[in-house]
C-alpha cells in the first residue's frame, strides 16, 4: 500500500491559541509539496501538528488510513514521519558520528554510510563536535540524522534559512537526489525561498493567517500574481 498522510479539518496551536484553522490536505508517497506563506502564517505549526509537537484543538491526522492524532511523537517517527526542525537541534557536545548514530532506529545498527555518501563533508568532520560545525554543516547533519531513521514522509522546516547560496544549492541537490532515488519518499517543504520551493515541488499550499489561501499545482503560482497580490511574496525574487 502506498504511503498517504491525510490532514483533515485540523485546528492547532499552543495552549488555547489557535494558529491553524480548518486545514485540509493530503500527500502520497513520491509527492513533493511546498508550504508557503508569510512569517506567522502557521507553516511551522503545521509541521509540528503533524509530528504531535503542538496542541491539536480539532480535526484528525491519518497515516496510511490509521489515525495518529493521539500518538506521541516517537510513535509517529516509528510509523514513518521524519522532521528536520528549523532549529536543527544538533547535539553540540557529541561528535558528528555520534549525532548520526542517535538517528538510527535500532541500537544494534551502526551503519551511517548513507549519511556520508549524501554529504561527504560530514565524513570529513565525523570526529568534530556538533558545536564546531558551521551553520550549513549543522543543517546537513540534522537532515542526515533524520534520514537515517528511514522516514517515508520527510518534513523540512526552512532548511535553507540563513545559509550561503552555494550551501543552499548543495542541499537542494541532495533533496533532488533523495526524491529521485528513494522510492515512495514524500517531502513536505516549508521554505521562504519561494521560487526554489515551487520549482522543486509539483504541488503547493499557501497559508494566510492559519488558513489555506491556495492549494494546487506549483506551476500555477509561478505564472500568476497570486503570491505577490495576496501575501506580498514574489516567486521570481530569490
Query: Alpha carbon of 114 to those of 90, 153, 213: distances in Å?
Result: 18, 18, 38
Query: 1-80+152-160+185-238: what fold?
Result: Rossmann fold (3.40.50)
Query: Alpha carbon of 118 to those of 78, 141, 226: distances in Å?
Result: 22, 10, 36
What is the pLDDT averaged over residues 141-167? 96
pLDDT tens per residue, range 198-229: 999 999 999 999 999 999 999 999 888 888 88
Q: Is the pLDDT reported for residue 107 higher than 80? A: no
Mean of per-residue pLDDT scores for the chain: 94
pLDDT tens per residue, range 174-200: 999 999 999 999 999 999 999 999 999
pTM: 0.94
pLDDT tens per residue, range 37-84: 999 999 999 999 999 999 999 999 999 999 999 999 999 999 999 999
> Could you give the residue ranges of the DSSP H alpha helices within 24-93?
43-51, 73-79
* Residue ranges per structural domain of the chain: 1-80+152-160+185-238
pLDDT tens per residue, range 2-19: 799 999 999 999 999 999
Amino acid at each position: 500500500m502506498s504511503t498517504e498522510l491525510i490532514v483533515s479539518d485540523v485546528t492547532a496551536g499552543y495552549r488555547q491559541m489557535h494558529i491553524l484553522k480548518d486545514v485540509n490536505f493530503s500527500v502520497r508517497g513520491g509527492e513533493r509539496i511546498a508550504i508557503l506563506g508569510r512569517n506567522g502564517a502557521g507553516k511551522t505549526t503545521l509541521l509540528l501538528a503533524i509530528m504531535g509537537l503542538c496542541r491539536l484543538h480539532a480535526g484528525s491526522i491519518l497515516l496510511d488510513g490509521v489515525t495518529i492524532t493521539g500518538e506521541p511523537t516517537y510513535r509517529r517517527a516509528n510509523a514513518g514521519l521524519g522532521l528536520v526542525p528549523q532549529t536543527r537541534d544538533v547535539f553540540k557536545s557529541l561528535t558528528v558520528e555520534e549525532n548520526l548514530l542517535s538517528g538510527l532506529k535500532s541500537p544494534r545498527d551502526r551503519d551511517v554510510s548513507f549519511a556520508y555518501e549524501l554529504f561527504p563533508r560530514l565524513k570529513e568532520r565525523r570526529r568534530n563536535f556538533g558545536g564546531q560545525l558551521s551553520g550549513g554543516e549543522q543543517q546537513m547533519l540534522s537532515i542526515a540524522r533524520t534520514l537515517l531513521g528511514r522516514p517515508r514522509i520527510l518534513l523540512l522546516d526552512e532548511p535553507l534559512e540563513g545559509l550561503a547560496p552555494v550551501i543552499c544549492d548543495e542541499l537542494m541537490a541532495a533533496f533532488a537526489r533523495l526524491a529521485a532515488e528513494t522510492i515512495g519518499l514524500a517531502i513536505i517543504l516549508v521554505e521562504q525561498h519561494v521560487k526554489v520551493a515551487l520549482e522543486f515541488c509539483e504541488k503547493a499550499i499557501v497559508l494566510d493567517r492559519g488558513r489555506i489561501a491556495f492549494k494546487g499545482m506549483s506551476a500555477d503560482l509561478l505564472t500568476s500574481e497570486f503570491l505577490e497580490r495576496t501575501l506580498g511574496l514574489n516567486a521570481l525574487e530569490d
